[in-house]
Chains A and B, each alone.
Chain A
Amino acid sequence: MDGFEFFGFTLEDANRVFAEILKKGQFAELYFEFTERVNVSFEDDIVKIAKTSQSGGVGVRVVEGETTGYAYCESFDLKSIIKTGKFASSIASQRNTLTFPVNFSEVKGLSLYSASLILKDFRLQERVKLLKEITGLAYRHSDLIKRADASISDKVKKIFIVNSDGQYGFDTRPFVSLSLSVVAERDGKREFGRSGFAKRGGYELINGDILKNVSDKACKKAIQNLDAKPAPAGVMPVVLGAGESGVLIHESVGHPLEADFIRKKSSAYTGRVGEKVASSLCTIVDDGTIPGNTGSLNFDDELTITEKTVLIEKGILKTFMTDKLNAKAVGIPLTGNGRRESFQYNPIPRMRVTYMDRGEDNPEDIIKSVKKGILCLSFAGGQVDIASGDFVFVPDESFFIENGEVKYPVKNLTLIGNGPDVLTKVDMVGHDLKFSSGNWICGKGQAVPVGIGMPTVRIAEITVGGAEV
């Protein structure tokens, strides 16, 4: 079944909708989506939860200048779509309807992943096998592990976009995530470890190595934290491990370089292209083309083919991440960052896979260089205030470094810094760039999966928020 047949909608139908709703000077776009999800969870040592869901509909967007009208319906019939479209176009100042039909041509996206729908073919037992295997691995990791819960979620999103500029395109976007949470207990003290894996693809991507890796990571975190001491408070050097520390980039400089904040002049980086905004060791990239990465897209949610966008090169600000509306308003190129959570939402500039490029330092030398500081290996998340640039990121696996040696685990800390300040304090960058394989969901009013990456880096000083003064 081809995409038109699947959604029961043709390009002639699109022209009928545009003729009914579109006024002169407006841009209109129909976003068809059908999503299926399957979730199986293993808790209390039994397969406890099995869930499926199906949802879908059509989002209609009408844009006039910087104004957007948005409406959606949860069905695919022409009558509902026209009715919905009329709501969206009610923002119009113009009352003359467009009369000429649009000529369409297909946008063929990249081929970064592939998938088929899942509910036809449950294969639930296969997922159960993986869950039993990973929880078994966790229990065998150590006698200290007293509880292991795991879950696998698969999602396939089928989309069809058609717009009044004459573009249309189809994509099928798979997403699988595995998560494991364990409890370690000793002498009445409990600690927790979580780890996960996510990729664009199906559950069949999850193999034995991945199960082992996720289990080891979660168990190690929980057991380490049984011995962790309270983290110190104050300003000190921090070493960020390769991979998950990409949270720093995502929060500190990623969000403020999204073009909607630039158009609204609320970002601290507004009007600063060409200026030095970071240490010359920092090259920051947002890439939508890494095969299989959770943040990658064959084209974005507006049919712009994704690319690798260099945001900051050797400390110099190069460009911002755009969707169509903001690229046009600010007068900068399209980068393929227009994304949305679902047909219920309007696309806005969002990150894809954001990372700091590799440097030249030896990771071991970076740790050796620290007299007294903190090493952070994995993170629970982060948050930023776009205007002031203040951001936090929250480690869940950290160690105290003394005289160049990793001494003991520490816990209960948040790192806080100011984005533009912190990037000037990056003074060592490792050659070990690594991408996180975890499930990172970014929330900016809408939840979308993103990727992050980072080499080992040293920040000369940042505020460490532990409880020990």
Chain B
Amino acid sequence: MKTKDFYINEAYNLVKEYRSKFDYLKIYLSAGQSIEVNVLNGKIENVSFSESIPITIVGALNGKTATVSGNYLSREKTGELINYLFGLLEIVEKDPYFVIPERELIGKAKADLDLFDKEALFADAENLIEKTVELENLSLSMSDKVKSAGAFYSVYAGITVFANSYLFADGFEKSYFGKGISLIIEDSAENSENKGRKQRAGWWDYAVKQNLLSSDNEVAKKAVERVLAKKGSVKPETGVYPVVFENVAATGFFSSIASALSGTRLYKKESFLVDSLNKKIGSDILTIEDNPLLKHGLGSRLFDSDGVKSKLVNLIERGVVKNYLLSVYSANRLGLKTTASAGGYSNLTIKPGEKSLDEIIKEIDKGILITSLKGQGANIKTGDYSRGAEGFFIENGKIAFPISEFTVSSTFQHMLDNIKEVGSDVFKSSSVLTPSVLFNGITVSGK
């Protein structure tokens, strides 16, 4: 991988050379390199090195747009790709909503978000292997009941560059560090044919800088606790319960809400939140913003994929929709202004409450705590919600026993209206920053 200035310069020269042939031309390039190591029982499973420079070019002519993409190899090769645009433009039809973004929208936010750790460029496989083996050993030393299902360490360094017909060309650097461990215990279930039943759980962390990662001790401890707690899980009784989504399990729910508020979904009417601007769609205690300018944020960025300067977006305030997530195009479709959200949310931030997860559980007489979800049953088009789950049964304000092989079913609308608590325990190793959330009146289907 070459320097940020090199790629900015290449993108600049490309738009300069080809812009006269189009009404509008934009280039989005992201160069990245990474190393990932996987270790199992002290031995290396995998060491992977990657270096990739995907480039996407969008050209518009007479209200039509077309896209080409590939790997960035050289300016000449990219020029050949750009020439494919003309063949594509021949078949595309004129889109009455096509709009060239105004010059003043384009730019790079001036903010020092501290997103890049130079160490990422010099990551060394041997050193990472050593660290991964240490994490695995530490985890296994905490309990003689657990076995390893593998530990990993990964380091990524990347550069995002945007250039367009205005001869704007700029970029920013970003790095990620990640580590984690997955553990297994032997288990059995009564009245089951599943003779080889095991339980698997793990823990991990991601951060933009190496020194922001959780310690090995924190990661190992959490992984061991989580896997041991699953032993002997049973199906819960079918019924309607208060259900707490643990922070890590709540990320998917809020990510779906953000999708339901995205301009593209809304103009296509593929969202249960169509026409919700300035309307109350949820509980008073729900406030959500999308903050691309979060210091050290995993989803932080200085411009979106339209090249529009990033800024904070208030999405939901005390249950009322204040903004949608809009690109230049979807904003034009809806008669609104872009929120610099082309490419989706950045750091989706759910405003935390005062109570810890324990305090929330303490107030529940009989209910469910969900620690993980699976399946594609969250449908933001219709608002239907039904997913597979595992977690714990809550009795008299305490975790009573582990449960699995059940579903939670409701609708997004019911869930939004029935958020009774948001915790204080924000989960930070994700671009959805959410605390644990308590919903009332959710159907649980078990035995």
- Using a CB–CB cutoff of 8 Å, the interface residues on chain A facing chain B are 40, 43-44, 46-57, 65-75, 84, 87-88, 90-91, 119, 122, 124-125, 127-128, 147, 149, 183, 190-192, 225, 231, 233-235, 264-272, 275, 277, 344, 346, 380-394, 411-414, 416-421, 423-424, 463-469
What are 26 A-B pairs at a CB distance below 8 A? A47-B92, A50-B92, A53-B69, A66-B43, A68-B45, A69-B47, A70-B47, A71-B50, A190-B381, A235-B238, A265-B184, A266-B184, A266-B198, A268-B197, A380-B377, A381-B376, A387-B149, A387-B198, A414-B375, A414-B388, A418-B192, A420-B196, A421-B192, A465-B407, A466-B445, A467-B409
| Cβ contact within 8 Å between A390 and B405 | yes
Q: Contacts A44-B95, A416-B388, A424-B193: A183 and B270 contacting too (C-beta < 8 A)?
A: yes
- How far in angstroms is the closest Cβ of chain B from A226? 11
User: Smallest CB-CB separation from B54: which chain A residue?
Assistant: A55
For residue B343, CB closer than 8 A to chain A, the reply is no
For residue B443, CB closer than 8 A to chain A, the reply is yes
User: Smallest CB-CB separation from B227: which chain A residue?
Assistant: A387
For residue B66, CB closer than 8 A to chain A, the reply is yes
Which listed residue, A54, A385, A414, touches B407 by the CB 8 Å rule? A414
Residues on A with C-beta less than 8 A from B444 are 233
User: Smallest CB-CB separation from A71: which chain B residue?
Assistant: B49
User: Smallest CB-CB separation from A191: which chain B residue?
Assistant: B382
Q: Contacts A44-B95, A264-B40, A467-B409: A389 and B197 contacting too (C-beta < 8 A)?
A: yes
Residues on A with C-beta less than 8 A from B279 are none
Residues on B with C-beta less than 8 A from A381 are 375-376
- Using a CB–CB cutoff of 8 Å, the interface residues on chain B facing chain A are 40, 43-54, 65-71, 73, 81, 84, 87-95, 125, 147, 149-150, 184, 187, 189, 192-200, 230, 233, 235, 238-240, 268-270, 374-377, 379, 381-382, 384-388, 390, 404-411, 443-447
User: Smallest CB-CB separation from B414: which chain A residue?
Assistant: A467
Interface centre among A50, A69, A231, A271, by most chain B C-beta atoms within 10 angstroms, is A50
Which listed residue, A267, A387, A394, A467, touches B410 by the CB 8 Å rule? A467
Q: Contacts A52-B84, A465-B406: A267 and B196 contacting too (C-beta < 8 A)?
A: yes
Q: How far is the CA of A84 from the CA of B283 in the complex (A)?
A: 54
Q: Contacts A87-B49, A268-B194: A463 and B92 contacting too (C-beta < 8 A)?
A: no
Residues on A with C-beta less than 8 A from B187 are 388
Q: How far is the CA of A10 from the CA of B92 in the complex (A)?
A: 41
- How far in angstroms is the closest Cβ of chain B from A52? 5
Residues on A with C-beta less than 8 A from B270 are 183, 192
Q: Contacts A55-B71, A147-B269: A72 and B445 contacting too (C-beta < 8 A)?
A: no
Q: Contacts A390-B388, A414-B388, A463-B407: A48 and B95 contacting too (C-beta < 8 A)?
A: yes
| Cβ contact within 8 Å between A48 and B93 | yes
| Cβ contact within 8 Å between B73 and A75 | yes
| Cβ contact within 8 Å between A54 and B70 | yes
Residues on A with C-beta less than 8 A from B189 are 418
Residues on A with C-beta less than 8 A from B446 are 463
Residues on B with C-beta less than 8 A from A56 are 71
Q: How far is the CA of A467 from the CA of B48 in the complex (A)?
A: 44
User: Smallest CB-CB separation from B267: which chain A residue?
Assistant: A44
Q: Contacts A344-B50, A414-B409: A465 and B404 contacting too (C-beta < 8 A)?
A: no
Which listed residue, B94, B268, B388, touches A46 by the CB 8 Å rule? B94
| Cβ contact within 8 Å between B184 and A413 | no
Residues on A with C-beta less than 8 A from B65 are 49
Q: How far is the CA of A381 from the CA of B379 in the complex (A)?
A: 12
- How far in angstroms is the closest Cβ of chain A from B244? 18
User: Smallest CB-CB separation from A466: which chain B residue?
Assistant: B409
Which listed residue, A192, A277, A392, A464, touches B382 by the CB 8 Å rule? A192
Q: Contacts A54-B81, A190-B269, A381-B375: A389 and B194 contacting too (C-beta < 8 A)?
A: yes
| Cβ contact within 8 Å between A266 and B149 | yes
Q: How far is the CA of A389 from the CA of B199 in the complex (A)?
A: 9
| Cβ contact within 8 Å between B407 and A346 | no
| Cβ contact within 8 Å between A392 and B95 | no
- How far in angstroms is the closest Cβ of chain A from B159? 15
Which listed residue, B238, B268, B411, touches A233 by the CB 8 Å rule? B238
User: Smallest CB-CB separation from B58: which chain A residue?
Assistant: A51
| Cβ contact within 8 Å between B66 and A420 | no
| Cβ contact within 8 Å between A393 and B375 | yes
| Cβ contact within 8 Å between B68 and A53 | yes
User: Smallest CB-CB separation from A464: which chain B residue?
Assistant: B445
Q: How far is the CA of A67 from the CA of B443 in the complex (A)?
A: 46
User: Smallest CB-CB separation from A422: which chain B residue?
Assistant: B193
Q: How far is the CA of A386 from the CA of B240 in the complex (A)?
A: 29
Residues on A with C-beta less than 8 A from B197 are 268, 387-389, 420
